[in-house]
Structure 1
Amino acid sequence: MSEYAVFSALISFITRDVRGKLESEHFQLSGDDSPLKNTWEEFCAQVQGDESLYWGAYLDHIRTYMIITYRSLDSEQRHILNQETDSFHQFCFEEEANDIAPIYEDEIVDMLMSFLQLEADNYESSSLTAYKYYLDEDEDEDEDEDEDEDIVTSSIDDFKAEKSTLFLFWGNWP
């Protein structure tokens, strides 16, 4: 098997493992009435839409899973992932051929997080669609409230303008 095929298989294994852990959790930070089924869908909703107030907490939580799964790999598998980092390529360009390249774990985990976010961006489910619809309905209600406020404000402004005109016409306004 080529190194690229092994690399692809490792990415698939790690993202599947982390996704499985997230699917088994039920942190409902989007609310009790959310149609989202699990933490994975919560993550997908944020990747596909707006990041919530808890985005950093989600990333830290998922990153921890990513590190645990990465560290469970054998040294050859970690080396294959390491070879795909920019730092590894830079090291190979600058150093002697006999030097042993360090493992760039943070960069590897960042790369793995990017693959997981790409998977989350492409994820679809009926509950995620319902959640997006729920948010759109919520935004429509907010827009309706804003329009109502604009109508009230413009009505008050119109009244003030009429009152000013009457004041100029009649002189003293009681």
Structure 2
Amino acid sequence: MKFLPEFQLPESVAIDYMHGILLGVMKKLMSLWFDGKYHQLPFYIGHRLEDVDKILSSVKPPYQINRTPRKISGNVQHWKASEFRSWLLFYCIPCLKGILPDVYLTHLACLVEGIFILRSDSIPLDKLDRAEKLLQNFYGNFVELYGEAAAGLNVHNILHLSIYSGKLATMR
């Protein structure tokens, strides 16, 4: 690296949206919310999994989604990246409203809106700035809400997503 002084690592290596966000951050959040080993923590909602499944089962997918959502219970470990994408962008907020405590739902909404913006075909600078602020907010509050042990590299990489969308390409 010392021989390449102009090389900026965060701006030069793209983040893998599918593995980093969908199969990384979203899968981690769902584990935190539903895995019984977190049952004493304030974000744990595993005791409401049946309610979430019932809401999810009643969802009629938007035209962009070909697959009908599968229940979380007994299936989430087998979900495809496309199912995590649908959960993140379309289902999680309505399914978790009134179930996930408000502070965690609001935190999640920052990730949802930020990623939704960055997946647009074209992103005006004001929207790119908004996405960056939302994702910074998500990252900045993650450790406080879920603990340092839950915040791995995939969560950290959220800070750099707007760089890639602004300089490289959108996350389609």
Regarding TM over 0.5, the answer is no
Judging by fraction of residues, say which structure has more helix: 1
| TM-score (ref. length: structure 2) | 0.29
Larger Rg: 1
